[in-house]
Structure 1
Amino acid sequence: MTTYVLIPGAGGSAWYWHGVSDELSRRGRDVVSVDLPGNDPRAGLPEYVDTVVDAVGDRTDLVVVGQSLGGFTAPLVCPRLPVSLLVLVNGMIPRPGETPGEWWANTGQEAARRANDAREGRDPDAETDLATYFLHDLSQAQIDASAEHNQDESEAAFATPFTLDVWPAVETRVVAGRDDRFFPADFQRRVAEDRLGMIPDEVPGGHLAALSHPMELVDRLEAYVKESA
């Protein structure tokens, strides 16, 4: 049976994936949603990878999905697990030796965000707040629930370099949220083409597309699985 391994972004809460996980389970898929030690100041990327590997256990035929910061962890688990497909969703695509902390300047994320803000009529000099950049397409019920699961990300992971010399030899797909204000879709296209030589597929929703549009994201993931079969 195909197992989806869902890796969250900053903060490390598996709850982020609950809508996707529920829908995948409804469609008969096995799902492992991983809680990462994001707020542990002693835990960097190696500890994140160990956590994922331990959560998966002896499962095989894995589809590993990494969200945002999870884009650093997801490829690192591939040499240690029987992964058949790797998917990054609004993901930070790393280069060898790069830390997540270096990724922002290396990719020009801030300039891309500011340019997108100006295009969409927001003040590019305004504070980068949760409501504007992460919660804008969520219902109030989702916003309230997310506050209960929100936790800070320690600096440890951001200081850990990406240790693979080459991208893992695993079929890879990239998904971008069409309405992502934090990692604008055109920015994600540029980074994915530059670093992986591929153009992302788009789904509706912002940076937290798995919360705002879980059905559409599941449809895209399932399409990848069928294409790779």
Structure 2
Amino acid sequence: MTGAGAVAGTTPPTYVLIHGAAADSWCWHLVAAELRARGHGVVAVDLPCDDDSAGLSDYADAVLAAVGDRAGSADPGGLAVVAHSFGAFTAPVVCDRMPVELLVLLGPQIPLPGEAPGDWWANTGYPQARQEQDVRDGRAEDDMVGLFTNDLPPALVTEVFRRSRHQADKPFGDPVPVAEWPDVPTRVLLHRDDRFLPADFVRRVARERLGIEPDEMPGDHLGMLGHPIELADRLDAYWAERSGAAARRD
């Protein structure tokens, strides 16, 4: 059963999908297919995460290159950026460099302007939050399947780990190169069964850093693979809400 088509009364956007660390655009393939079936444009980006010389600015450059001529007035539907996990460090740089009408942070590591990703863990209190989550779950420290893919079927779990890429260290030392959070409508969507970025932790960080109350959907850290139709529904709803608010302002 598929979700609804493009929301009535709105122009379908192009969704720009940014993956997390040590991954590639494959992680979006199910939700990308669902979005395309609804009439949306989709740009699923491959970041240069295995390039030891590439930093956050290079990651943003890769996104802009992938979007190409879709940015700007030539694209009547506008651009919606969806950034997963570590991709949230690239997202504000992208929004600072091209016109974006909606930003959705999915199961994100939410940065502050000027914060280096390597400092994010201690700055947010992540180690304690993860330790508490591991105790609740009874998860062994070396259980990567249980940490990242506890909600996925075995075939997808196998493919996730088969496709894992080398993640270079350089971007973790790069402060996010924006002076302030971009002036773009922003939503945070967390996965309630995420063990890597626990829901309560993401909820607190979203409130403290963005003043945003996150929405929730089922899924582990890779909820776009486990629940692609629900994610597409959520994105459609966010776009419709953003479009309706813009129409009321006009």
Provide TM-score, normalisation by structure 2: 0.88
Residue number in structure 1 paired with 2:29: 18
Which letter maps to 1:146? V
Residue number in structure 2 paired with 1:162: 176
Which letter maps to 1:180? D
C-alpha separation in 2, matches of 1:189 and 1:40:
32
Provide TM-score, normalisation by structure 1: 0.95
Structure 2 residue aligned with 1:49, among 44, 50, 60?
Answer: 60
Confirm or deny: 8 A CA contact 1:13 1:36 kept in the other structure.
Answer: yes
Confirm or deny: 8 A CA contact 2:96 2:178 kept in the other structure.
Answer: no
Which letter maps to 1:90? G
Q: Deviations over 1:139-175 (max 9, x none)?
A: 1110122233211211011111112121100000000
C-alpha separation in 2, matches of 1:71 and 1:128:
25
Q: Deviations over 1:108-129 (max 9, x none)?
A: 1111111122233x15xx4253
Q: Deviations over 1:56-78 (max 9, x none)?
A: 01114100010000000011101
C-alpha separation in 1, matches of 2:188 and 2:83:
10
C-alpha separation in 2, matches of 1:39 and 1:203:
30
C-alpha separation in 1, matches of 2:19 and 2:143:
20
Residue number in structure 2 paired with 1:73: 90
C-alpha separation in 2, matches of 1:128 and 1:21:
31
Which letter maps to 2:96? P
Residue number in structure 2 paired with 1:33: 44
C-alpha separation in 2, matches of 1:62 and 1:147:
30
How many pairs are equivalent? 226
Residue number in structure 1 paired with 2:230: 216
Structure 1 residue aligned with 2:216, among 184, 202, 221?
Answer: 202
Which letter maps to 1:36? L
Structure 2 residue aligned with 1:117, among 134, 146, 159?
Answer: 134
> Which has the higher mean CA deviation after the structures are superposed, 110-119 or 34-43?
110-119
Moved segments of 4+, more than 4 Å = none
> Which has the higher mean CA deviation after the structures are superposed, 191-200 or 92-101?
92-101
Confirm or deny: 8 A CA contact 1:64 1:74 kept in the other structure.
Answer: yes
Cα pair distance change 1:128/1:160, threshold 3 Å: farther
Q: Deviations over 1:73-93 (max 9, x none)?
A: 011101221200001001111
Which letter maps to 1:27? R
Secondary structure of 1:58's aligned partner? helix
Give, in angstroms, the shift of residue 137 of structure 1. 1.0
Residue number in structure 2 paired with 1:86: 103
C-alpha separation in 2, matches of 1:212 and 1:99:
30
Structure 1 stretches lacking a partner, 5+ long:
none
Secondary structure of 2:135's aligned partner? helix
Q: Does 1:228 align with 2:242?
A: yes
Confirm or deny: 8 A CA contact 1:12 1:37 kept in the other structure.
Answer: no
Q: Does 1:107 align with 2:130?
A: no
Identical counterparts, % of pairs: 52
Which letter maps to 1:170? V
Secondary structure of 1:57's aligned partner? helix
Secondary structure of 2:114's aligned partner? coil
Which letter maps to 1:141? A
